[in-house]
Amino acid sequence: MPIVMINLLEGRDAARKQALLREVTNAVVRTLGVPPQAVRVLLKEVPPTHWAVGGVSKAETGN
């Protein structure tokens, strides 16, 4: 059973997240030849205050 873990900044709408989950599942199915029911995708949304690049949080940079 493949398990895919995705971390991304919070703030995207439900439709975009659902599209991401669907597309990732489809990619795993095509690549590994497993049924969709065997694929697990875990999506973790991280607040901008907990995500930093170069020591500066995304909340501070605003992007």
Catalytic residue list: 2
From start to end of 3-55, where are the E strands?
3-9, 40-46, 52-53
Pairing of strands 40-46, 52-53: unpaired
Distance of CA 23 to the CA centre of its chain: 11
